[in-house]
Amino acid sequence: MTNERILIVEDDQDIRELTTLYLGKKGYEVFPADNGFDAINIVKRESPHLILLDIVLPGMKGFEICEKVRELTQAPILFISSKRDSVDKIKGLEVGGDDYITKPFDFAELEARVRANLRRSLISSDQKEKKKLSYGHLTIDLESYEIKVNDQPIRLYAKELQLLLLLVNNPNQVFSAEQLYDQIWGIDSYGELKTVLVHISKLRRKIEVNPSRPKLIKTVRGFGYKFSPPE
Assigned architecture for domain 125-227: Orthogonal Bundle (1.10)
The pLDDT tens digits for 4-53 are 999 999 999 999 999 999 999 999 999 999 999 999 999 999 999 999 99
| 5-120: in CATH 3.40.50.2300 | yes
Question: Confidence band (pLDDT; 50, 70, 90) for 130?
Answer: low
Prediction pTM value: 0.64
Question: Confidence band (pLDDT; 50, 70, 90) for 211?
Answer: very high
Reduce the DSSP state of residue 36 to 3 states and report it: helix
Question: Confidence band (pLDDT; 50, 70, 90) for 191?
Answer: low
Q: Closest Cα to residue 128, out of 149, 113, 116, 143?
A: 143
Q: Closest Cα to residue 34, out of 22, 24, 45, 42?
A: 42
**How far from 206 is each of 11, 12, 89, 104, CA to CA, in Å?**
35, 37, 21, 36
> How do the domains of the chain map onto residue ranges?
5-120, 125-227
Least confident of 66-75, 83-92, 168-177, 193-202: 83-92
Same topology between domain 5-120 and domain 125-227: no
Q: What is the pLDDT of residue 124?
A: 44
Q: CA–CA separation, 50 vs 8, rounded Å?
A: 9
Q: What is the pLDDT of residue 123?
A: 47
